[in-house]
Structure 1
Amino acid sequence: MLAKIQETAAWIKSHTTLRPTTAIVLGTGLGRLAEEIEVIETFPYADIPNFPVSTVEGHSGCLIFGRLGGKEVLAMQGRFHYYEGYSMKEVTFPVRVMYELGIQTLFVSNASGGTNEGFKIGDIMFITDHINFFPEHPLRGKNFPTGPRFPDMSEAYDRGLLDLARTIAKEKGIAHVEGVYVGTSGPTFETPAEYKMYRVLGGDAVGMSTVPEVIVARHCGIRVFGISIITDLGVEGKIVEVSHEEVQKAANAVQPLMADIMREMICRSC
């Protein structure tokens, strides 16, 4: 796997002169944030050696190099999910490649179901922590040399970046909530009983991504900031049937606000 990671990183380096230290992972329905980026080069995943290919609607499947907030950035327009049949090593392969490319800061985004009774559809949630409910751990197996065998996760989401996001949101008058993200394997949306369980355990939102990528990023020493868009509610009395298309629609509606926050954070911190 390490040889493949290095081969992929070498291919990317040979095809672009940009050397960003910031990366962005755009989740379900959030791929249009790429329109905020001054694109220099675009590489379809299918053209990149060893890269998986996204199979989910709303995930375009391109690696973008460009500028955002005046800084060079790398953006994944579409991610890979455990429920697609990929192993955890494949799901987190791009993060390993990012490390080889010199990425130091990772911004992750996703669409999620809110379990906090104070949340509403369309809320932007800054992720303060997560709970891992995936059946396979992304660090299972031989330890990679990028970090210790037993990495600390007391600060999975960088406190300094969280503070900066709060400051920017206040300055711009952008309302947000904060909470704990629960990562599950999917692909089914949760039952009412499962939503209730996740809330009892301390989760504020639940989704099918992000946690594996964050764990591997932290193992690599990459600092992380995460945003969830609340696209449906798993609150008793407010649970309704939900479709993937509805999730995409809700996410699209608040993309400009999320883009505003991320652009300013990158401008000030990276």
Structure 2
Amino acid sequence: MATIPSLPSRDDVARIARSTTDITGQLLDTAGNLTRIAVNTFDPRDGSGAEVLRVLRETTAELAEASASPQAQEAFYRMVDTLTRLGTSGAPLAVHPVSEPARALLTALGDSLLPLLDAVEPAVEEAAEALGELVDASSPLLPAAAGAAAGTLLVLAPVIRAAADVLRESSPELRRIADALTSALAPLLPLQVAFAERAAGAGAGVVRAVVPPLADLTEVAAAGFRAGRPLLIAGEEMVVSGLEQLQPLLLASAGWAGRVARAASVRVAAAVSPTTPTAVVVTTTPR
């Protein structure tokens, strides 16, 4: 049996009343501000209301004049004609016999994909978060990449424009090629359909024969993987330990290579421009 809820205390009633009063006061203040704005806008004494009405009348007259022009009427007719054509061409698709199997297919795909999406949702969220961190970390490289992409597009623009001009000039030849391909491939389509049906039947038989042995092989491989998991973990531990031991050597090598590259760049710059009045040559001794 459900318990009867307790009545609110006097403090709760007072708090609710104060909250209601505050909200009501805020609503009244907002309504007063809106009324004041409307009155100030349309007040005829300071001319603002007359100015607003004049602007509205002029705007309405200009819109009426623009819509009554022959160009606007023709544009409206074209819009209506386009919408009518879209409606008449798209309406039969909704009642076409193929629409029912298509809806059934989409429903089946949705029912099959929902559990998969629910299963991969945590991994997708984790990958998205990691990708966001990667983008934040590589943000200093983004301007350089954008500049390189812009330069590449600028270089490719003349090539694309020239290719478009060539294709536009060669449209009759392209039409002849398309007609020749169509006339050559059209007789082969029924034969290809027959071959596809035979291939589908043979492929289904092969899949039926291969799936049971593949399941057995997968079970054996999973058992072997479970048995060799300690060895795999030990190998991963050895690889990680080796990388940790090589890390100081790799850092030292990278620092040495950087110093050598800087010294070489300074020498090359001094050799290219020997007339510089104050040339500084930095020499480094490899460690």
When the two structures are superposed, what TM-score results if normalisation uses the length of structure 2?
0.11
Q: Give 1 or 2: higher strand fraction.
A: 1
Higher RCO (CA-CA < 8 Å; seq separation 6+) = 1
